[in-house]
Amino acid sequence: MESHKNRSLYARLRFAAAGIAHGLRTERSLRTQALVFILVLLALLLLRPAPLWWALLILCSAVVLAAELFNTAIERLADHLHPELHPEVRIVKDCAAAAVLCVSVAAIGVAIALLVDSTRH
């Protein structure tokens, strides 16, 4: 298989889009997070907060989606390299899932801060 390095920007964007499409097709948690992102965008449109809140919430959402994609990649690679159950592989997968949880909790914290700020104005 030919390397993805040094390809045109268009080709690299196609590879990235293929990764997102695969994740959305195969990972329920990524579909859930994508739906939450759409709801966040709708809430931003409804609340019409300052641009800084838009930036913070879009950044948080992007980080959560990226973490989900990294988690998917790590799980797929771990399963490919070591298909049978193994305690070390379980720890790798658990840590990747914990990373998604950490950024998700942080994103919820930012959303709560927006809601608190919105009720004060």
pLDDT, one tens digit per residue, over 64-81 is 999 999 999 999 999 999
At residue 1, the pLDDT reads 56
- pLDDT interval class at 30 (50, 70, 90): very high
Pick the CATH number of 9-119 from 3.20.20.140, 3.50.50.60, 1.10.287.3610, 3.40.50.720: 1.10.287.3610
Give the list of residues 6+ apart from residue 2 with CB closer than 8 angstroms, or none.
none
Q: Which two tokens stand for residue 79?
A: 């399963």
2 catalytic residue (yes or no) = no
Sorted by where each begins, the domain ranges of the chain are 9-119
Catalytic residue among 27, 68, 75, 84: 68
- pLDDT interval class at 2 (50, 70, 90): low
